[in-house]
Structure 1
Amino acid sequence: MFCISDIRNVLYLSFIYLPTRLKACFLYCSLFPEDYLFKRKQLVRLWLAEGFIEERGESTLEEVAEGYLKELIYRNMLQLVDRNDFGRMKKFRMHDILRELAVDLCQKNCFGVTDENKCRGPHQKDVRRLVLQKLKDDIQQPFSNMHQLRTIITLGDSKSSFTVLPLLCNESRYMTVLELSGLPIEKIPDAIGDLFNLRHLGLRGSKVKMLPKSVKNLSNLLTLDLYESDINELPSWIVKLKKLRHLFAQKTIDPTWREFASCSGVRIHNGLGNLINLQTLQALELQDESVRHLGELRQLRSLRLLNMKEIYCGHINKSLVQMLYLSQLTVCASDEDEVLQLNVCLPSLQRLFLRGRLAEGALDESPLFQAVGGQNLYSLCLYWSQLREDPLPSLSRLSNLTGVHFTRAYNGEQLTFLTGWFPKLKVLCLIDLPNLNRLVIQEGAMTSLEKLYLVNLSSMTEVPPGIEFLMPLQNLAFWEITRDFLMLLHQCSAIQGTQWQHTLRH
């Protein structure tokens, strides 16, 4: 029989023989709390900022980092927990015993510590990285040896106003990562501009309304995360941050995403074309000046555009063609009457989110929705498209789709899924389709479906014929239905023995 100490020894041996390029990344993960769920993109950005990733061939640093992540999972150093709809790794965690070993090594080598290990106070010497979990109160005493700190990360539902931040900016001049997401911070000190080595600044969910002008001095900044902060407009000097790779600056207005104006972005008035290293831009409020220079951002992988107008479409189409690596695209019209005319082939596109009216015949005529142009398209979300003709015959050509989401996208009365259509579809959401009274599913359609959500289909008076061909499903939900429809569901033999959810319409 093996005892715990034997297992530890075996794990320790497997750990010490890790290639150096993987060891630092793995130790870094141990700084986070036990059972912490890592997100792939979040961790990749942090590894880049820490300088763990070296260039390899023509691959981007992000691609190299994902390779390291895959190798750690292959070696069982990290446990894969969840994949996205099209199979890409999404969330993962550390094994408890491996984490304990890594934590010991981190502390012995002053690599870093987590708050649960009582890292604050004068007893902790020369620690370079500090992860703080669920700060409920403000920090009463400064961190010891502040000048040694390279990384500060706060996690969880933190209430601290973090008044130690000005002192950090003055004392920790070599800071590389400052991740303060979720803290109710209202102001960033001017001294932050003195952190010449800062590569990651995270203010997600903070109360910050304005960035100090000194931020323009952060010439090494790779990630600026202002998502759900109170910043609505970026200052003109933001374009001086020429190494910036990831810019998040979107704010949610309607958390259900069912209203037309569900989110807002930021405006960049001049010099957008200087940010040539941007890979992520979420979300940009389009204006005449930014429309003209968008095409210069040729490294973009993920792009969200708001305030789209029909007069911009020509310029936007020409810009998008220049973005050879674009995999995620969101375009939201400025109002319900503006028509989104996106007639462009984007062969690398994997996710497409459109909010606004589509022209008649757009699904048949635009290369976006053609079998060749959309061969890599996995996820399609159409909001407020106001389509009159059944979109399914056109979209059925996109055989790799794993997720389809319609919200106010179709004004017709019937949708029919024919045999052989959407063979890889896993998630189907039909929401707020007021005229839809009949949904037909033939045997052999959507053979991989796992989740079906039907929400506020006010004209539907029968349980969809053929729904039995989809059983069993992981999730089946009928939300905002009438009591009469609920009675039909209880009487329907096709879903008997299947777990399903419902809510009643108010």
Structure 2
Amino acid sequence: MAAEGTVTFLLDKLVPLLKLGSKLLKDVHKEVDYIVSELERIKAFLRFADAREETDPELKVWVKQVREVADEMEDVVDEFRLCPPQHHGHGLLGSIHKIARFSKDFKAQNQLVSRMQGIKSKVQNISEGHERYRGKFDGIEQGFDHGASTNTWYDSRGDALLVEESELVGIDKPKQKLIGMLLDDVSRTKVVSVVGMGGLGKTTLVKKVYDDVKVEKSFQHHAWITVSSSKIEDLLRDLIQQLFDEGRKPVPQGIGTLNADRLKALLNDFLRQKKYIIVLDDVWRIFMWESVKYAFPNSRRGSRVLVTTRNSDVAGCSCVESDGDVFPLNPLPPTESWTLFCDKAFRRNACPPHLNKLSQAILKRCEGLPLAIVAIGGLLATKDQNRMDEWDIVDRSLSSELESNDKLERHCFLYLSIFPEDHLIEHMRLIRLWIAEGFVVPQEGKMPEEVAESYLRDLTNRCLIQVAQRDVDGRIKAYRIHDLMRQIIISKSRDQDFVTIIRENNSATPNKARHLSARGTLETCTRQEFPGVRSLLIFGVDSVSKSCMSALFSGDRFGLLRVLDLRGLPLEKFPEGVVNLFHLRYLSLRGTNVDILPSSIGKLPYLETLDLKQTKVSKLPAEIQKLQNLRHLLLYRCVIVSYVTFHRDLQFLQKLCFVEPDQGRHTLSELGKLSQLRKLGIIKLRKEDGRSLCSSIEKMKNLCSLDVTSLEEEEIIDLNHLSSPPLLLKGLYLKGRLEDLPGWIPTLDNLSKISLRWSRLKNDPLEALQALPNLVQLQLLHAYEGEALCFKAGGFQKLKSLKLDRLEGLRKVSVEWGALTCLQELSILRCLALKQLPFGIEYLSQLQQLCFYDMPNEFARTLLLTEQGYDYWKIKHIPKIFFIYSESDRWSFYHL
């Protein structure tokens, strides 16, 4: 759907132009109005054309023309918005002022009108081609003409016909009642209308009744048609075909040329002396019924017409003339809804306690609609029951989750060719790039990052990309592309001028290139103009001169750039020309030597991602507050000036690590306004700041990671005021003294990682943490001052990684049978009072790696004699054992 996605993205930009209403733009307005109308008209057709272009060379040319004119129109719109700001503000109002000012320039306006007229002419030619192809693919768009949904690739009503009766809950009573209406002793032809809102299961119920043995034997002829997506003539021909086939009679010749009236007469004559049952499924409007009703004669033999509709007027109208019956279908009651939901979501098992609240919330949104419950239950059955965040996403985006996921934009896939061979593609990097490029289609109830996640899941499930790295909790960190698949992507990208790869031996680059991938050189990029390029990613450039960087961003070479990724480039200073890239949405300086971010960074109003990781930047200018579209601020340990306005303006920020509270504690009180924040890091926290921080955290319903470091090692972190912690919290990292382990931590069922440093707890923290259902990683560094730690039976059932470091009073570690059943990595470091292996370590059958670091000599002697060491037998089943310790001021390393 590359062309369709391009047109959709363009239309989103064009519509605001039509709303300006400025007299200065009336000529432009007229041209844009026409172009928008034509693009809207062919947009639906593109969905089908894209799918067929590979097998039809002529159609392939037509689709390419659509893509090119959409790209050209997008260039014009973006250039039009480049006029320099005159303190007119941001957003649409600011754009209006800039456009109006630009239009005062008569020459510029004439140029704009001329370009619009040229594009209009091309669109007219494309529209003529559209009409030709409508004939070629007869009926391809009929569903759109009759009000059918355009949101999915297939009509899900067909799924309703395949639902097994044994899988349904509460269907028996309505089924028997409906059968009774059909098989009563009324001799006239009677209409029975099943009416109810979409998703109640009308089609499913009627299909079970239609297939019932008693019903089947009671009628001589049977037929079923779906009305909503059919033309009247096609509907009538379908009925005739079914009825004649059932009676083993040849279909009358010339049926394809008969009009609707002749077809109805043919049907009426055939059915006049017969007892029949005909189902008209999904009758949307009254005129649909009026158009076919005279095809069904009153045979006085007890014939029945069974209608399903969500329109009560249709139900009433269809039944009144035959004195028929209206059968209202109601939602399932709560008990039956819950039974059906659990059958689907948990495969007939009970709902786990930690998912009960979320499940009830999701079920409530289904409002007793059986098909909705079946669909969403089936979706949830594929989700990890230990991942509350996945279930929460479904809760927030129920309607879009029920739609087909085939809407994955093809250009998301083609974009992968921008990365070099064997390059590991980082999960979040790709997501942020897709969003910045405009590839992610908005879905109600979902953040763009979550939509992009679904695209990646789809690509992975279809084996189009491969998972290369996972985190300890199973989260995907990076992908790779199979060599064969990579060649296919590169070929298609080249064919569509989508991604162009620049190497030292490149003599020229296509003028229509939209995305550039520079490999090992930047010199080529400075010798050519790239008027339509939207992204530049640089890989493997080891040296770059000041003159090269100056030339790279001089003039209008990259005037429409949205993505600039300079990761790893040996830069010492921020490239001055970058701040003139008005449309920039993604800027990465990761891994460079840049140390100062200029105040002119505020000139990039659309910037969404600013990646400063692994740079020398330690302070951000106050102008950062002007980046009101900023979603991802990736940096470490930076001080940010002007905190108050900073937190008020950056409403879309999702990641903020790490910031230092100011003396007036304005930072902490303002943090609560960042409602979309998913990761928060705070450094130099004072004990008295705890209450303010807790108040803000309680407002962060989307928070997934919290990292708090105290002012100094002895400073207490006071988080006991957090009465309602974020339920989606997955990572918790606390560095500082804790008087007690906060009581809310054991309530975090979604928590997967905990790191406690300098906590110096008096009481054993394992007691409170052992029941956390999704904890996979635990690190305790100088976090406990007691002498013993006991991992009790049944505790820490999901833990995979455990690290005990500098627990200076620790003398004994014991593992009971049935504890730590999934543990794969165990590290014990600098626990100087510990003289022997953990008791019960031999029970840890899944342990793959065991590491000891700087442990006392007595501890070493129990192991380093290999088979003579009296404790070695306890760990000899572990594949990797490392022992690192200091001896005579030298470090020794043993791999047992």
TM-score (norm 2): 0.50
Match of 1:268 in 2: 641
Contact 2:504 2:524 in 1 (8 A): no
Structure 2 unaligned runs (5+)?
1-53, 61-152, 154-404, 892-896
1:154 maps to 2:538: yes
Preserved contact between residue 622 and residue 640 of structure 2 (Cα < 8 Å): no
Paired with 2:434 and 2:717, the residues of 1 have a C-alpha distance of 38
C-alpha separation between the residues in 1 aligned to 2:504 and 2:553?
A: 23
Between 451-460 and 20-29, the greater mean CA deviation after superposition: 20-29
Aligned to 2:427: 40
- Among 186, 202, 206, which residue is 2:572 paired with? 186
> Which structure carries more strand by proportion?
1
- Shift of the 108–423 alpha-carbon distance from structure 1 to 2, 3 Å rule, reads same
Q: Deviations over 1:70-126 (max 9, x none)?
A: 0001111011233323333222211110110110111222211345x6674425543
Task: Give 2:789's aligned residue.
Answer: 415
User: Contact between 1:233 and 1:266, CA under 8 Å: does it hold in 2?
Assistant: yes
CA distance in 2 between partners of 1:153 and 1:141 (Å): 11
Q: CA deviation at 1:143?
A: 4.7
Identity of aligned residues (%): 32
Instruction: Return the alpha-carbon distance in structure 2 between the equivalents of residues 405 and 161 of structure 1.
Output: 45
Residue number among 125, 128, 131 corresponding to 2:517 in the alignment: 131
Letter in 1 for 2:461: Y
Hey, what's the Cα distance between the residues in 2 that align with 1:236 and 1:62?
27
> 1:215 maps to what in 2?
601
What's the secondary structure of 1:164's corresponding residue? helix
CA contact (8 A) 2:833 2:856 kept: no
2:659 maps to a residue whose letter is L
- Is the aligned partner of 1:304 residue 2:681? yes
* Structure 1 match to 2:726: 346
The separation in 1 between residues aligned to 2:768 and 2:496, in whole angstroms, is: 59
Q: Paired residue for 2:658?
A: 283
Where does residue 496 of structure 1 map in the other structure? 876
Deviation at 1:483, TM superposition (A): 4.9
Query: Shift of residue 484 of structure 1?
Result: 4.2
CA distance in 1, matches of 2:840, 2:641: 50
Query: CA 1:494–1:246 in 2, change beyond 3 Å: closer, same or farther?
Result: same
Give distance in 2, aligned partners of 1:410 and 1:154: 47
Tell me, yes or no, if structure 1 residue 437 matches structure 2 residue 811. Answer: yes
- Alpha-carbon deviation of 1:233? 1.4
Q: Which residue of 2 aligns with 1:167?
A: 551
TM-score, normalised relative to structure 1: 0.88
- Give 1:73's aligned residue: 460
Q: Partners in 2 of 1:186 and 1:31 — Cα distance?
A: 26
CA shift for structure 1 position 486: 3.0
Equivalent residue for 2:208? none
Q: Which amino acid aligns with 1:301?
A: R
Rounded to whole Å, the distance in 2 between the matches of 1:334 and 1:157 is 40
For the Cα contact (< 8 Å) 2:424–2:478, is it kept in 1? yes
- Structure 1 residue 177, shift from structure 2 partner: 0.8
Provide, for residues 245-304 of structure 1, a one-character-per-residue CA deviation record: whole Å limited to 9, x for no partner.
000120xxxxxxxxxxxxx33323231221111011111122123223111111101111
Superposition map of 1:104-503 within 5 A: 104-115=491-502, 120-122=506-508, 124-133=510-519, 135=520, 139=523, 142-155=526-539, 158-160=542-544, 163-170=547-554, 171-250=557-636, 264-270=637-643, 271-272=645-646, 273-287=648-662, 288-343=665-720, 344=722, 345-359=725-739, 361-363=740-742, 366-367=743-744, 369-371=745-747, 374-489=748-863, 490=866, 491=869, 492-498=872-878, 499-503=880-884
Cα 1:422–1:225 change in 2 (3 A) is same
For the Cα contact (< 8 Å) 2:506–2:524, is it kept in 1?
no
> How far is 1:467 from its partner?
0.6
Computing the radius of gyration from Cα coordinates, the structure with the larger value is: 2
Q: Does 1:25 align with 2:412?
A: yes
- The letter of the residue matching 1:187 is K
Letter in 2 for 1:346: P
Give the CA RMSD over aligned residues. 2.3
Tell me: CA distance 1:119–1:22, structure 2 relative to 1, closer, same or farther (3 Å). Answer: farther
1:437, CA displacement in angstroms? 2.0
Distance in 1 of aligned mates of 2:499 and 2:763:
59
Take 1:394 and 1:64, find their aligned partners in 2: how far apart are those partners? 36
Q: How much does 1:395 deviate?
A: 1.3
Distance 1:217 1:114 in 2: 29
Pair 1:353–1:173, CA change in 2 (3 A) = same
Letter in 2 for 1:176: R
1:6 maps to none
TM-fit CA distance, 1:172: 0.6
1:316 partner amino acid:
L
Matched residue type, 1:281: L
- In the alignment, the residues of structure 1 paired with residue 506 and residue 605 of structure 2 have an alpha-carbon distance, to the nearest angstrom, of 30
Alpha-carbon displacement from aligned partner over 1:408-467 (angstroms, at most 9, x marks no partner):
111222111010010011111112222222111111101011111112222211111111
SS at match of 2:785: coil
Q: Is the 8 A contact 1:185 1:208 kept in 2?
A: yes
Query: In 1, distance between residues paired with 2:524 and 2:474?
Result: 46
| Amino acid across the alignment from 1:147 | P
- SS across alignment from 2:619: coil
Alpha-carbon separation, structure 2, partners of 1:70 and 1:485: 47
Pair 158,412 (structure 1): closer, same or farther in 2 beyond 3 Å = farther
* Structure number with higher relative contact order (C-alpha < 8 Å, ≥ 6 residues apart): 1
- For the 8 Å contact 1:161–1:184, the answer to whether it is kept is no
CA contact (8 A) 1:340 1:357 kept: yes
- Give the deviation of 1:403 after TM superposition: 0.7
Q: Secondary structure at the match of 2:590?
A: coil
Displacement of 1:190 in angstroms is: 3.2
Contact 2:669 2:695 in 1 (8 A): no
Question: In structure 2, what is the Cα distance between the partners aligned to 1:411 and 1:162?
Answer: 55
CA distance in 2, matches of 1:101, 1:308: 52
Q: Which of 461, 485, 510 is the equivalent residue of 1:98?
A: 485
> Bigger shift: 120-129 or 442-451?
120-129
For residues 187-245 of structure 1, give each alpha carbon's deviation from its aligned partner in whole angstroms, at most 9, with x where no partner exists: 22333222111000111122212222322111110001111212211111110110000
CA change 1:102–1:479 in 2 (3 A) is: same
Moved more, 284-293 or 300-309: 284-293
CA distance 1:292–1:126, shift in 2 (3 Å): same
Maintained 8 Å contact 2:598/2:621: no
CA 1:119–1:279: 2 relative to 1, 3 Å: farther
Task: Give the conservation status (yes or no) of the 8 Å contact 1:162–1:183.
Answer: no
**How far off its partner does 1:383 sit?**
1.0
Bigger mean CA offset, 306-315 vs 33-42: 33-42
Matched to 1:500, the amino acid is I
Paired residue type of 1:22? E
Check the 8 A contact 2:567/2:589 in 1, yes or no. yes
Report the CA distance shift for 1:159/1:422 in structure 2 as closer, same or farther (over 3 A). Answer: farther
